[in-house]
């Protein structure tokens, strides 16, 4: 009996405590709006913009600080909305519930398809009206367009791809360092030969040795995420779709050849870990000398810079031509915003490399503006003399991205998510050595064909 009463009392007091807490919190909520009372516009109406974004600790800090500086400078309130995971689920519910943020990061696939439904603002009129803004100042490859003239934004940052390697391992093996200039890029056979020299079995024999045992590899010459196969495909003159946007490009001879060559690195030349072997490799394979060279986007430099090894960079080995991939995700303004002009001001502010310098200097981002790639004074601010941007970076990444950067399918291929849902399982079969690239890609071509809807922005 006593216990029952105690239980009831406990329950009751919990309810009371909770009510108090909740009321306390909702009154707290009022305060920030009043905090910046001095910044009110002349009409007395305080404008608040919601800016949604993702990112780990450093990105979160840099972006939040930039937003605060914007607040101070303009008197426009900004509510940062940092979404730590499942970004697109959160944004989808917000847009469906008609409570979308004013502007923010987006993923490319959903971004372009939402734009077609009119959920994102066309920035062209805003850009034309703005005398301080010149579209030509920004890289040509960073723009997202659903159709000519309907620009939904530019990429949050530029992400060029390149070769990254552990310099000491190459020097020890007597391998010449990867070239940093496009016209000197390794051709595929040279690349394989060097990769073989850098691949060692448990007895220390390299992959050129006739005694080499491919079942007991201790050190791989080259690791890459095979689902990033687009870099090889574009270097071979192919692309995800055919040039006219009506055919499945990966199943064309150039695409198949490039993908087969990647698979051969694992199953013929034994210089790259198979997906199974990758599961046993640590995240930090370069530092721990399990892997000598890898391919990744610019962002990886930030993590490598925090590790203790002698990082080197170079241009990607080429199949037919030397080029690189340029990846990204758009920053957009939602059409539901009540303050498009102010949102544009903030948009422009966040696209300015100066405002997000710590991310650029730290190796996570590459800047959006062209002069940051050409003006020596600006280059000095980020790409010279720091650990994330080793010697050769200006050629291998900056120049290569600017001059030979080919956009990833995410920028322009329509219906990409659904096509990829067919392509990924088919490539599973290639990367696990069960089928040749030709069998797998020709096999899904009839299913992919009806999903092909061409390119955005053409």
Partner 1 sequence: MAAAGILFALPSILGLTLFTILPMLTSLILSFTDYRTVNTPKFIGFDNYTRLFDGTDPYFYNSLWVTFKYVILRVPLGLVFSFVAAFLLNLDFIRGKSIFRTIFYLPVIVPAVASSMIWIWLFSPDLGLFNSFLEALHIPTLNWLYSEKTVVPSIVIMSLWAMGSTIIIFLAGLQGVPRSLYEAAIVDGAGALRKFFNITIPMMTPIIFFNLIMGSIGAFQVFTEALIMTQGGPNNASLFYNYYIYREAFQFGEMGHASAIAWILFMIILIVTAIFFRTSKSWVFYESEV
Partner 2 sequence: MQKSRRISQIMVYSILIAGAVFCLLPLFWLIRSSMMTSLQIFEMPPKWIPEPFQFSNYAEALTSIDFFRFFRNTLMITVGCLAGALISSALGAYSYARLNWPGKNLFFSLLLASMMLPGAVTLIPTFIGWKLVDSINTYWPLILPAWFGSAFDIFLLRQFYTSIPRDLDEAAYVDGAGPLTIFMRIIVPLSKPALIVIGLFSFMNSWNDFMGPLVYLNEEKKYTLALGLQMFQSIHSAQWHLLMAASTVVILPVIIVFFIGQRYFIEGITLTGMKG
Is 218 a residue that touches partner 1 (CB under 8 A)?
A: no
Q: Is 186 in the site for partner 1 (CB under 8 A)?
A: no
The reply on whether position 284 binds partner 1 by CB under 8 A is no
Q: Pick from partner 1, partner 2, none: which does 428 bind, CB < 5 to 8 A by kind?
A: partner 1
Q: Quick one: what does residue 14 bind among partner 2, partner 1, none, with the CB cut-off 5 to 8 Å set by partner type? A: partner 2
* 171 binds partner 1, rule: CB under 8 A: no
How many CA atoms lie less than 13 Å away from 9 in the CB half-sphere? 6
11 forms part of the interface with partner 1 (CB under 8 A): no
Q: How far is the CB of 228 from partner 2 (least distance, A)?
A: 12
Give the nearest distance from C-beta 113 to partner 1 in angstroms: 6
**Strand segments (E) across 200-247:** 200-201, 217-223
Contact between 162 and 317 (Cβ < 8 Å): no
Beta strands at 217-223 and 200-201: parallel, antiparallel or unpaired: antiparallel
Judged by CB under 8 A, the residue of 166, 239, 302, 420 near partner 2 is: 302
Q: Which is nearer to partner 1, 274 or 394 (CB)?
A: 274
No. of H helices and E strands in the chain? 19, 13
Cβ atoms within 10 Å, residue 294: 19
**Helices assigned H by DSSP within 117-251:** 124-129, 167-173, 188-197, 230-235
Residue 245 binding result from partner 2, partner 1, none, given CB thresholds of 5 to 8 Å by partner type: none
Nearer to partner 1, 69 or 227 (CB): 227
Return all residues near 366 (Cβ < 8 A) that are at least 6 apart: 157, 158, 159, 160, 298, 360, 397, 398, 401
Q: Measured on CA atoms in the order 393, 397, 400, 402, is the torsion positive or negative? A: negative
Instruction: Kindly write out the interface string for residues 90-119 of this chain, putting x where it contacts partner 2 by CB under 8 A and - elsewhere.
Output: x-xx--xxxx--------------------
3-class SS of residue 404: helix
Does residue 11 interact with partner 2 by CB under 8 A?
yes
405-434 residues in contact with partner 1 (CB under 8 A) are: 417-418, 421-422, 424-426, 428-429, 432
Tell me the CB-side half-sphere exposure of residue 44, using CA atoms within 13 A: 0
SS3 271: coil
Identify what 275 binds: partner 2, partner 1, none; CB under 5 to 8 Å per kind.
partner 1
Q: Which does 81 bind (CB under 5 to 8 A by kind): partner 2, partner 1, none?
A: partner 2
Structure tokens at 260: 């087969």
Over the window 267 to 296, marking each residue x when it contacts partner 2 by CB under 8 A and - when it does not, the resulting string is -------------xxxxx--xx--------
Q: Which does 15 bind (CB under 5 to 8 A by kind): partner 1, partner 2, none?
A: partner 2
Q: For partner 1, what does the binding mask look like between residues 71 and 110, x meaning CB under 8 A?
A: -----------------xx--x--xx------------xx
- Please count the residues of the chain: 458
The pair of three-digit structure tokens given for residue 387, joined into one six-digit string: 């650990």
Name the residue nearer to partner 1 (CB basis): 94 or 123: 94
Report the distance separating Cα 190 and Cα 249, nearest Å: 27
Q: How many CA atoms lie within 13 A of 136 on its CB side?
A: 1
Per CB under 8 A, does 377 bind partner 2?
A: no
Nearest to 164 by CA among 56, 49, 310, 269: 310
Could you give the CA distance from residue 162 to residue 180 in angstroms, rounded to a whole number?
A: 9
374 binds, among partner 2, partner 1, none (CB under 5 to 8 A by kind): none
Strands 405-407, 291-297: pairing is unpaired
Of these partners, partner 2, partner 1, none, which one is at the site of residue 282 (CB under 5 to 8 Å by kind)? Answer: partner 2
**What gap in Å lies between CA 408 and CA 241, rounded to an integer?**
11
Q: Which residue has the tokens 């490399």?
A: 353
Does 213 interact with partner 1 (rule: CB under 8 A)? no
Q: Using CA atoms, how far apart are residues 204 and 246, in angstroms rounded to an integer?
A: 50
* 305 counts as binding partner 2 under rule CB under 8 A: no
Helix %, strand %, coil % of the chain (to 5): 50, 15, 35
Q: Binding of partner 1 at residue 307 (CB under 8 A)? A: no
The answer to the question of residue 50 lying near partner 2 (CB under 8 A) is yes
Q: Which of 51, 63, 77, 80 binds partner 2 (CB under 8 A)?
A: 80
Size of the site for partner 2 (CB under 8 A): 50
Binding test (CB under 8 A) with partner 1, winner from 113, 124, 150, 453: 113
CB contact at 8 A, 319 and 236: yes
Residues in contact with partner 1 by CB under 8 A are: 88-89, 92, 95-96, 109-110, 113-114, 117, 119, 275-277, 279-280, 417-418, 421-422, 424-426, 428-429, 432, 447
Interface residues toward partner 2, by CB under 8 A: 1, 3-4, 7-8, 11, 14-15, 17-18, 21-22, 25-26, 50, 54-57, 59-60, 79-86, 89-90, 92-93, 96-99, 280-284, 287-288, 297, 299-300, 302-303, 307
């Amino acid at each position: 009996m006593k216990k029952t009463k105690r239980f009831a009392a406990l329950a009751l007091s919990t309810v009371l405590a909770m009510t108090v807490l909740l009321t306390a919190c909702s009154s707290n909520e009022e305060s920030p709006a009043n905090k910046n009372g001095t910044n009110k516009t002349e009409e007395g109406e305080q404008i608040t913009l919601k800016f949604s974004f993702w990112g780990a600790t450093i990105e979160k800090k840099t972006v939040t600080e930039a937003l605060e500086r914007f607040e101070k400078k303009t008197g426009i309130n900004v509510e940062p909305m940092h979404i730590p995971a499942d970004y697109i689920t959160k944004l989808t519910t917000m847009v469906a519930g008609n409570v979308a943020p004013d502007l923010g990061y987006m993923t490319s696939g959903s971004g372009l398809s939402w734009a077609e439904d009119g959920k994102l603002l066309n920035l062209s009129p805003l850009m034309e009206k703005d005398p301080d803004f010149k579209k030509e100042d920004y890289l040509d490859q960073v723009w997202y367009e659903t159709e000519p003239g309907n620009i939904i934004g530019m990429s949050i940052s530029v992400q060029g791809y390149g070769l990254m390697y552990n310099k000491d391992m190459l020097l020890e093996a007597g391998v010449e360092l990867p070239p940093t200039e496009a016209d000197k890029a390794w051709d595929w056979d040279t690349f394989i030969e060097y990769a073989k020299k850098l691949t060692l079995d448990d007895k220390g024999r390299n992959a050129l040795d006739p005694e080499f045992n491919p079942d007991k590899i201790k050190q791989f010459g080259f690791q890459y995420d095979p689902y990033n196969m687009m870099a090889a495909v574009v270097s071979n003159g192919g692309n995800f779709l055919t040039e006219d946007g009506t055919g499945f490009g990966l199943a064309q001879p150039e695409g198949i050849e490039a993908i087969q060559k990647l698979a051969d690195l694992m199953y013929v030349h034994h210089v790259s870990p198979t997906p199974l072997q990758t599961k046993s490799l640590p995240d930090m394979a370069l530092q721990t000398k399990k892997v000598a060279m890898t391919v990744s986007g610019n962002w990886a430099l930030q993590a490598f810079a925090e590790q203790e090894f002698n990082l080197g960079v170079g241009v990607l080995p080429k199949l037919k031509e030397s080029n690189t991939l340029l990846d990204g995700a758009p920053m957009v303004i939602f059409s539901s915003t009540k303050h498009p002009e102010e949102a544009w001001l903030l948009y422009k502010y966040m696209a300015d490399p100066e405002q997000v310098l710590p991310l650029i200097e730290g190796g996570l981002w590459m800047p959006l503006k062209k002069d940051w790639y050409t003006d020596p004074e600006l280059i000095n601010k980020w790409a010279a003399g720091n650990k994330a941007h080793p010697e050769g970076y200006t050629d291998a990444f900056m120049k290569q991205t600017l001059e030979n950067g080919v956009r990833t399918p995410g920028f322009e291929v329509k219906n990409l998510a659904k096509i990829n849902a067919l392509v990924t399982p088919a490539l599973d079969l290639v990367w696990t050595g069960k089928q040749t690239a030709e069998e797998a890609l020709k096999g899904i071509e009839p299913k992919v064909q009806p999903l092909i809807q061409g390119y955005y922005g053409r």
